[in-house]
Amino acid sequence: MAKKVTKKIKLQIPAGKATPAPPVGTVLGPVGINLQEFCSKYNDATRDKMGDILPVEISVYEDRTFDFIIKTPPASYLIKKYAKVKSGSAKGSTDTVGTLSKEQVKEIAEIKLPDLNAYTVDEAIKIVEGTARNMGIKVEK
Protein backbone atom coordinates (compact mmCIF):
# COMPACT_ATOMS: atom_id res chain seq x y z
CA MET A 1 0.00 0.00 0.00
CA ALA A 2 1.21 3.52 -0.80
CA LYS A 3 2.38 5.71 2.06
CA LYS A 4 0.21 8.69 2.96
CA VAL A 5 1.79 12.10 2.46
CA THR A 6 1.26 14.27 5.54
CA LYS A 7 3.04 17.40 4.35
CA LYS A 8 4.64 18.91 1.24
CA ILE A 9 7.37 21.47 1.84
CA LYS A 10 9.05 23.69 -0.76
CA LEU A 11 12.47 25.22 -0.07
CA GLN A 12 15.21 26.93 -2.06
CA ILE A 13 18.61 25.74 -0.87
CA PRO A 14 22.12 26.34 -2.29
CA ALA A 15 23.30 23.16 -4.04
CA GLY A 16 25.56 20.96 -1.92
CA LYS A 17 25.30 23.29 1.10
CA ALA A 18 22.27 22.09 3.07
CA THR A 19 22.88 22.07 6.84
CA PRO A 20 20.60 21.30 9.82
CA ALA A 21 20.93 24.98 10.79
CA PRO A 22 18.28 27.55 9.75
CA PRO A 23 16.50 27.85 7.34
CA VAL A 24 16.47 24.08 6.68
CA GLY A 25 16.35 23.06 10.35
CA THR A 26 13.60 25.49 11.35
CA VAL A 27 11.32 24.30 8.55
CA LEU A 28 12.00 20.55 8.65
CA GLY A 29 12.60 20.12 12.40
CA PRO A 30 8.94 20.48 13.52
CA VAL A 31 7.87 17.96 10.85
CA GLY A 32 10.00 15.30 12.56
CA ILE A 33 12.23 14.05 9.75
CA ASN A 34 15.89 13.25 10.30
CA LEU A 35 17.66 16.53 9.39
CA GLN A 36 21.10 14.98 9.01
CA GLU A 37 19.76 12.31 6.65
CA PHE A 38 17.97 14.92 4.50
CA CYS A 39 21.04 17.18 4.35
CA SER A 40 23.40 14.38 3.33
CA LYS A 41 21.02 13.04 0.65
CA TYR A 42 20.37 16.55 -0.72
CA ASN A 43 24.08 17.45 -0.75
CA ASP A 44 24.99 14.20 -2.53
CA ALA A 45 22.26 14.74 -5.15
CA THR A 46 23.27 18.35 -5.85
CA ARG A 47 27.07 18.14 -5.62
CA ASP A 48 27.45 18.64 -9.41
CA LYS A 49 25.51 21.95 -9.35
CA MET A 50 27.52 23.66 -6.57
CA GLY A 51 26.85 27.38 -6.24
CA ASP A 52 23.37 27.31 -7.78
CA ILE A 53 20.21 27.83 -5.73
CA LEU A 54 17.89 24.90 -6.31
CA PRO A 55 14.22 24.62 -5.36
CA VAL A 56 13.39 21.32 -3.69
CA GLU A 57 9.94 19.84 -3.05
CA ILE A 58 9.93 17.54 0.00
CA SER A 59 7.12 15.02 0.58
CA VAL A 60 6.90 13.93 4.24
CA TYR A 61 5.03 10.68 4.98
CA GLU A 62 3.13 9.49 8.08
CA ASP A 63 6.05 7.33 9.28
CA ARG A 64 8.36 10.40 9.11
CA THR A 65 10.18 9.19 6.02
CA PHE A 66 10.57 11.57 3.09
CA ASP A 67 11.21 11.89 -0.63
CA PHE A 68 12.34 14.99 -2.45
CA ILE A 69 12.34 16.29 -6.01
CA ILE A 70 15.00 18.77 -7.09
CA LYS A 71 13.81 21.35 -9.61
CA THR A 72 15.82 23.55 -11.98
CA PRO A 73 17.17 26.86 -10.64
CA PRO A 74 14.71 29.81 -10.71
CA ALA A 75 14.63 31.71 -14.03
CA SER A 76 15.48 34.98 -12.25
CA TYR A 77 18.59 33.39 -10.71
CA LEU A 78 19.77 32.07 -14.10
CA ILE A 79 19.08 35.41 -15.81
CA LYS A 80 21.12 37.30 -13.18
CA LYS A 81 23.92 34.72 -13.47
CA TYR A 82 24.11 34.93 -17.29
CA ALA A 83 23.75 38.73 -17.39
CA LYS A 84 26.38 39.06 -14.64
CA VAL A 85 24.28 41.43 -12.52
CA LYS A 86 23.74 41.35 -8.76
CA SER A 87 20.01 42.09 -8.89
CA GLY A 88 17.26 43.08 -11.28
CA SER A 89 16.00 46.62 -11.76
CA ALA A 90 13.99 48.20 -8.95
CA LYS A 91 11.81 49.95 -11.55
CA GLY A 92 11.13 46.86 -13.67
CA SER A 93 11.23 47.11 -17.44
CA THR A 94 11.67 50.91 -17.52
CA ASP A 95 15.22 50.76 -16.12
CA THR A 96 17.80 48.53 -17.91
CA VAL A 97 20.52 47.00 -15.72
CA GLY A 98 22.01 44.41 -18.11
CA THR A 99 21.72 42.58 -21.42
CA LEU A 100 21.44 38.98 -22.61
CA SER A 101 22.14 37.59 -26.08
CA LYS A 102 19.63 35.38 -27.91
CA GLU A 103 21.98 32.41 -27.37
CA GLN A 104 22.05 32.98 -23.59
CA VAL A 105 18.24 33.23 -23.47
CA LYS A 106 17.97 29.98 -25.45
CA GLU A 107 20.40 28.28 -23.07
CA ILE A 108 18.37 29.41 -20.03
CA ALA A 109 15.14 28.27 -21.72
CA GLU A 110 16.63 24.81 -22.37
CA ILE A 111 17.66 24.50 -18.72
CA LYS A 112 14.23 25.64 -17.47
CA LEU A 113 12.09 23.70 -20.01
CA PRO A 114 11.23 20.73 -17.70
CA ASP A 115 9.79 23.07 -15.03
CA LEU A 116 8.08 25.61 -17.30
CA ASN A 117 4.52 25.47 -18.62
CA ALA A 118 5.81 25.14 -22.20
CA TYR A 119 6.07 22.32 -24.72
CA THR A 120 8.78 23.68 -27.01
CA VAL A 121 12.01 25.62 -26.57
CA ASP A 122 10.50 28.56 -28.53
CA GLU A 123 7.66 28.86 -26.01
CA ALA A 124 10.17 28.62 -23.13
CA ILE A 125 12.28 31.38 -24.76
CA LYS A 126 9.24 33.71 -24.71
CA ILE A 127 8.70 33.02 -21.01
CA VAL A 128 12.37 33.66 -20.18
CA GLU A 129 12.40 36.86 -22.31
CA GLY A 130 9.35 38.14 -20.41
CA THR A 131 10.98 37.43 -17.06
CA ALA A 132 14.19 39.14 -18.18
CA ARG A 133 12.27 42.18 -19.45
CA ASN A 134 10.45 42.53 -16.11
CA MET A 135 13.81 42.35 -14.31
CA GLY A 136 15.20 45.20 -16.41
CA ILE A 137 17.46 42.93 -18.49
CA LYS A 138 17.45 43.75 -22.20
CA VAL A 139 17.40 40.86 -24.68
CA GLU A 140 19.41 41.56 -27.84
CA LYS A 141 17.59 40.91 -31.13
Here the CATH number for the domain that contains residue 81 is 1.10.10.250
List residues bridging with 139 in a β-sheet.
Answer: 100
pLDDT for the residue 57: 92
Domain that holds residue 109: 75-139
pLDDT confidence bin for 35, thresholds 50/70/90: confident
As a whole number, the mean pLDDT across the chain is 85
Interval 50-108: pLDDT, tens: 878 889 998 888 888 888 898 888 888 888 888 888 877 777 777 788 888 889 889 98
pLDDT for the residue 1: 56
Q: Which residues contact 126 (CB under 8 A, 6 or more apart)?
A: 118
- Domain boundary among the residues 70, 88, 105 is at 70
The number of distinct structural domains making up the chain is: 2
Both 56 and 90 in a single domain? no
pTM score of the predicted model = 0.76
DSSP string, the chain: -PPPEEEEEEEEEETT---SSTTHHHHHGGGT--HHHHHHHHHHHHGGGTT-EEEEEEEEETTS-EEEEE-PPPHHHHHHHHHT-SS--TTGGGS--EEE-HHHHHHHHHHHGGGSS-SSHHHHHHHHHHHHHHTTEEEP-
